[in-house]
């Protein structure tokens, strides 16, 4: 008996092709959701076409991913068909969950009309504005956005809208910092004027008054010897007044910076401070004047030193102060250490409701440093003294 070999039935060619297309579609969808492939979905008359960024377009995709700003491509109705990683970071949502979502999902209800108006204008011409986003974790995120129509080659109409999104939080913080700094500069100027006025009145003014009284006394001296004795006293008083006026002048602007440089200015200021307050000083300076520093950097370092030593004199009750000023190719570092009573930096810098004069001084040092891109660090503890370290870029960018 002859057995017939069973013939395996093959699926119709049409069904196999459909399965292949289905698998390809599933792979494409998975890749898009995972962010492995970036693509644009373009709707034309009668069909949809997926355009992926591959080959020659790859450098542009990499560039977009490295941008500080967020980049999005939207369908005409506002669905996100592409975004870079920065946009996903701004909305605090995984990239795979952003793709395919409506942009309105990330906008607060109050901002929905503004978004619709921007998208409508953006589909016709370049436009921009500010919006309030609502990130995936519910955090409000102020943004500045620019929209423009997307026109692809071979398509007469507008295929979508492209957008550039910038997180405005940092900009607003910088604006607030700038406003606060301006206010503090004006306050500091008024306080400085008041201090100088007090010193002129209490020291220089009283000394000049004493000189006038002494000169009148000389006129009525009964003997030449008595007149000579009074003249010697007045001469000493005039010399001390001249010293006081010079000190006030140096406090306004240390001319020694212009004439002899930062190293000499720092050395002399520390020596004078130690002499006036009876504190032992130890100063070491390395490489500061090897290459000229800008006047602003020199003045900022000098002012921070002044404020640090002022805090030592007023609050530390120290017996010794150590000053180190070191410079390398990129950075200049000032370090002021004392062996005084110390304090709690958190309380002085505003950790409590009472902020003393030292806290204001530390704030001033930090803000001066911040204007140059530098930092000030404070290390202190009760009974263990204080060390203030300030670092500044040697060259302003």
Bridge partners of 388, per DSSP, are 336, 378
Neighbours of 384 (CB within 10 A): 13
Give the Cα separation of 242 and 251 in Å (integer): 14
User: Do 363 and 222 belong together in one domain?
Assistant: no
The total domain count for the chain is: 3
The alpha carbon dihedral of 90, 92, 96, 98 has a sign of negative
Which tokens sit at 111?
Answer: 């901002």
Q: What is the pLDDT of residue 255?
A: 75
Q: Which of 212, 234, 252 is the last residue of a domain?
A: 252
Range of the domain at 47: 14-167
Band of pLDDT at residue 42, cut at 50, 70 and 90: very low
Phi-psi region of 11 (alpha: psi -120 to 50; beta: other; left: phi over 0): beta
The verdict on 124 and 109 lying in the same domain is yes
d(CA 88, CA 33): 13
Indicate whether 8 belongs to any domain.
no
Q: What CATH number does residue 356 fall under?
A: 3.30.565.10
Distant-in-sequence contacts of 252-258, Cβ < 8 A, 24+ apart: 252/196, 254/299, 254/302, 257/295, 257/298, 257/299, 257/302, 258/295
Q: Is the pLDDT of residue 6 over 50?
A: no
Question: The CATH number of the domain where 122 resides is what?
Answer: 3.30.450.20
Residue 4 lies in a domain: no
Q: Using pLDDT thresholds of 50, 70 and 90, give the confidence band for residue 336.
A: very high
* Model confidence band, residue 326 (pLDDT cutoffs 50, 70, 90): very high
Alpha carbon distances (Å) from 14 to 7, 10, 21, 293: 20, 11, 11, 78
Task: Count CA within 13 A, CB hemisphere, residue 93.
Answer: 23
Look at the alpha carbons of 361, 367, 368, 374 in this order and tell me if their dihedral is positive or negative: positive
Residue 275 in any domain: the answer is yes
Per the model's pLDDT, the better-predicted residue between 191 and 132 turns out to be 132
The predicted pLDDT at position 56 comes to 44
Mean pLDDT of the residues in the chain: 77
- Asked whether residue 1 is domain-assigned, the answer is no
Say yes or no: 88 and 230 in one domain: no
pLDDT above 90: residue 338: yes
* Same-domain status, 161 and 295: no
* Residue at a domain's end among 208, 226, 252: 252
Specify the higher pLDDT residue, 313 or 189. Answer: 313
Same-domain check for residues 197 and 282:
no
Boundary of a domain, candidates 145, 167, 189: 167
Q: Please, are residues 298 and 341 in contact by the beta-carbon 8 Å criterion?
A: no
Partners of 183 in the beta sheet? none
pLDDT recorded at residue 215: 83
Examine the domain organization and report whether 93 and 114 are in the same domain.
yes
For the stretch 265-285, pLDDT in tens is 899 989 988 998 899 999 999
**Tokens linked to 270:** 């520390």
Three-state DSSP at 356 gives coil
122 & 31 share domain: yes
| Beta carbons of 381 and 342 less than 8 angstroms apart | yes
Q: Looking at the structure, tell me whether residues 19 and 137 fall in a common domain.
A: yes
* Residue 2 within any structural domain of the chain: no
Residue 261 sits in the same domain as residue 382:
yes
Does residue 37 sit in the same domain as residue 103?
Answer: yes
Residue 18 has pLDDT above 80, yes or no: no
Whether residues 275 and 226 share a domain: the answer is: no
Greater model confidence, 100 or 251: 100
pLDDT, one tens digit per residue, over 199-253 is 777 777 788 888 888 888 888 888 888 888 888 888 888 888 887 777 777 666 6
When pLDDT is cut at 50, 70 and 90, the band that residue 323 belongs to is very high
Task: Determine, yes or no, domain membership for 81.
Answer: yes
Residue 271: partners with Cβ closer than 8 Å, 6 or more residues away: 281, 283
- Which segments within the chain are labelled E, that is strand? 39-44, 47-52, 70-74, 80-83, 127-134, 140-150, 160-167, 280-286, 320-327, 331-338, 375-380, 386-393
Tell me: pLDDT of 44 over 50: no
Residue 353 binned pLDDT confidence (cut-offs 50, 70, 90): very low
The pLDDT-based confidence of 355 (bands split at 50, 70, 90) is very low
pLDDT of amino acid 53? 46
The pLDDT of 188-201, averaged and rounded, is 72
pLDDT category of residue 33 using cuts at 50, 70 and 90? low
pLDDT in tens, 139-189: 888 888 889 988 876 667 788 888 888 887 777 777 777 777 777 777 766
- CA dist 394 and 385 (Å) reads 28
Residue 5 within any structural domain of the chain: no
Q: What is the value of pTM for the model shown?
A: 0.46
pLDDT at 361 over 80: no
* Percent of residues, the chain, with pLDDT higher than 70: 76
Confidence of residue 352 (pLDDT cuts 50, 70, 90): very low
How far is the C-alpha of 319 from the C-alpha of 274, rounded, in Å? 10
pLDDT band at 8 (very low <50, low <70, confident <90, very high): very low
Same domain, 108 and 120: yes
Q: How far apart, in whole angstroms, are the C-alpha atoms of residue 103 and residue 88?
A: 12
pLDDT band at 320 (very low <50, low <70, confident <90, very high): very high
Residue 82 near residue 76 (C-beta atoms within 8 A):
no
Quick: pLDDT tens for 112-143. 899 889 888 988 889 888 888 888 777 888 88
The answer to whether residue 334 is domain-embedded is: yes
Higher per-residue confidence, 5 vs 305 = 305
In angstroms, the CA 189 to CA 80 distance is 52
- Provide the 8-state DSSP code for 315: I
Contact (CB, 8 A) for 374 and 390:
yes
């Amino acid at each position: 008996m002859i057995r017939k070999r069973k013939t395996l039935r093959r699926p119709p060619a049409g069904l196999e092709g459909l399965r292949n297309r289905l698998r390809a579609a599933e792979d494409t969808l998975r890749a898009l959701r995972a962010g492995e492939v970036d693509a644009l979905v373009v709707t034309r008359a009668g069909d949809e076409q997926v355009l992926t960024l591959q080959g020659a377009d790859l450098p542009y995709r990499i560039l977009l991913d490295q941008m500080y700003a967020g980049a999005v491509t939207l369908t005409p109705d506002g669905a996100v068909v592409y975004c870079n990683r920065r946009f996903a970071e701004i909305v605090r949502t995984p990239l795979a969950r952003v793709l395919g979502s409506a942009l309105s999902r990330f906008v607060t209800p109050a901002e929905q009309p503004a978004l619709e108006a921007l998208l409508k204008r953006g589909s016709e011409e370049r436009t921009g504005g500010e919006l309030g986003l609502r990130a995936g974790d519910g955090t409000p995120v102020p943004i500045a956005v620019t929209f423009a129509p997307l026109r692809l080659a071979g398509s007469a109409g507008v295929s979508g809208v492209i957008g550039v999104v910038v997180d405005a939080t940092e900009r607003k913080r910088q604006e607030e910092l700038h406003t606060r700094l301006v206010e503090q500069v004006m306050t500091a100027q008024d306080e400085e004027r008041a201090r100088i006025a007090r010193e002129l009145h209490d020291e220089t003014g009283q000394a000049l008054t004493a000189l006038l009284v002494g000169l009148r006394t000389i006129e009525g001296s009964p003997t030449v010897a008595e007149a000579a004795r009074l003249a010697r006293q007045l001469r000493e008083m005039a010399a001390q007044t001249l010293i006081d006026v010079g000190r006030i002048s140096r406090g306004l602007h240390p001319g020694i910076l212009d004439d002899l440089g930062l190293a000499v200015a720092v050395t002399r200021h520390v020596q004078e401070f130690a002499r006036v307050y009876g504190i032992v000083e130890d100063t070491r300076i390395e490489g500061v004047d090897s290459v000229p520093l800008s006047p602003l950097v020199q003045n900022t370092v000098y002012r921070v030193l002044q404020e640090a030593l002022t805090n030592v004199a007023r609050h530390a009750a120290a017996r010794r102060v150590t000053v180190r000023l070191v410079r390398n190719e990129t950075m200049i570092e000032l370090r002021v250490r004392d062996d005084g009573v110390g304090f709690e930096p958190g309380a002085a810098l505003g950790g409590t409701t009472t902020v003393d004069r030292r806290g204001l001084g530390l704030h001033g040092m930090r803000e001066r440093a911040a204007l140059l891109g530098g930092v000030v660090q404070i290390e202190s503890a009760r009974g263990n003294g204080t060390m203030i370290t300030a670092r500044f870029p040697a060259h302003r960018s």
